[in-house]
C-alpha cells in the first residue's frame, strides 16, 4: 500500500483524495505556488514509501 505524505507538513494519507482535501483545506496556497514555479496546473506531491 502506498502512503502519501503531505509535502508541506508531516501528515500522511492512504489516498490521493485525502491528501488533496488536506492540501486544499490546510495548505490552500501550496498548489498555486507549485504550479507557478513549475509552469503547470496539475501538480502531484511525490509519493513516499511507508516507514517500517
pTM above 0.95, yes or no: no
- The neighbour count for residue 23, using CB atoms within 10 Å, is 21
- State the pLDDT at residue 41: 46
Q: Residue ranges of the domains in the chain?
A: 1-52
The model's pLDDT over 1-45, given as tens digits with 9 standing for 90+, comes to: 789 999 999 999 999 999 999 999 999 998 766 655 655 444 555
Whether the predicted pLDDT of 52 surpasses 60: no
Cα Rg of the chain (Å, integer)? 11
Amino acid at each position: 500500500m502506498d502512503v502519501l505524505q503531505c509535502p508541506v507538513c508531516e501528515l500522511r494519507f492512504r489516498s490521493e483524495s485525502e491528501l488533496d482535501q488536506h492540501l486544499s483545506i490546510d495548505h490552500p496556497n501550496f498548489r498555486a505556488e507549485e504550479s507557478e514555479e513549475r509552469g503547470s496546473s496539475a501538480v502531484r506531491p511525490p509519493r513516499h514509501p511507508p516507514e517500517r
